[in-house]
């Protein structure tokens, strides 16, 4: 007997997740790549518009997070919670006193990276994408290094370029997959029985 497809597993689990949801998830990943590209190009030039890259990355992470498919609902809650706290925190940091502003903004970016890291980690776990594991290390290294000391332009420039290249490679592989591709590493175990309404993906 053939193993059930992902669509059949989703139906058996009582989840609502269709092809348009997968397209939206991938669109969010693409926006993250564009954000990383803007950051990698403009930051080394000391162009103040590099912050547009951060905003694009935030938007992409939020879109992908909303349409992320994971079997364990608590994983998605952590990812979405990190993003939904991180984005407003960045906005708050812009209006905070100067001595605290940078730290608050960085903390907000760090929380968004926790969510983005969860997504690339999921891709690494389910599809053995090495770029995902590397990004899982790179995101916290960049954030912690900047939180612990002053800004290091050369270090950041190299780090942002690495993020862009790794994310570009991972998303390129993802886009080559058919929609609703089943986990290829045989480590993903779908839940049994119906899920609660909290676990449903928005239509």
Whole-number pLDDT of residue 182 = 77
How far is the C-alpha of 124 from the C-alpha of 34, rounded, in Å? 21
What was the pLDDT predicted at 4?
Answer: 65
pLDDT digits (tens, 9 = 90+) for 24-70: 999 999 999 999 999 999 999 989 999 999 999 999 999 999 999 88
- Give the residue extent of every domain in the chain: 16-176
Residue 3's pLDDT is 65
Tell me the percentage of the chain whose pLDDT exceeds 70.
86
pLDDT of residue 96: 93
Cα first-last separation, the chain: 32
Structure tokens at 73: 């609902």
The residues of the chain scoring below 50 in pLDDT are: 194-198
In this predicted structure, what is the pLDDT of residue 191?
A: 60
Position 62 scores a pLDDT of 97
109: CB partners within 8 A, 6+ apart? 54, 86, 90, 143
């Amino acid at each position: 007997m053939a193993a059930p497809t992902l669509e059949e597993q989703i139906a058996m689990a009582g989840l609502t997740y269709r092809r348009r949801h997968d397209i939206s998830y991938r669109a969010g990943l693409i926006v993250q790549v564009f954000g990383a590209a803007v950051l990698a190009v403009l930051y080394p030039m000391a162009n103040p518009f590099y912050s547009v890259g951060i905003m694009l990355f935030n938007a992409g992470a939020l879109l992908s997070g909303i349409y992320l498919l994971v079997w364990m609902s608590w994983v998605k809650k952590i990812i979405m919670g990190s993003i939904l706290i991180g984005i407003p925190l960045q906005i708050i940091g812009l209006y905070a006193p100067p001595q605290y502003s940078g730290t608050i903004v960085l903390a907000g970016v760090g929380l968004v990276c926790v969510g983005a890291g969860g997504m690339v980690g999921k891709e690494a776990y389910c599809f053995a994408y090495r770029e995902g594991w590397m990004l899982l290390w790179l995101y916290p290294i960049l954030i912690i290094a900047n939180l612990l000391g002053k800004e290091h332009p050369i270090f950041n420039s190299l780090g942002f370029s690495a993020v862009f290249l790794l994310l570009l490679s991972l998303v390129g592989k993802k886009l080559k997959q058919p929609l609703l591709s089943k986990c290829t590493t045989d480590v993903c175990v779908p839940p049994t029985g119906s899920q609660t309404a909290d676990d449903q993906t928005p239509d």
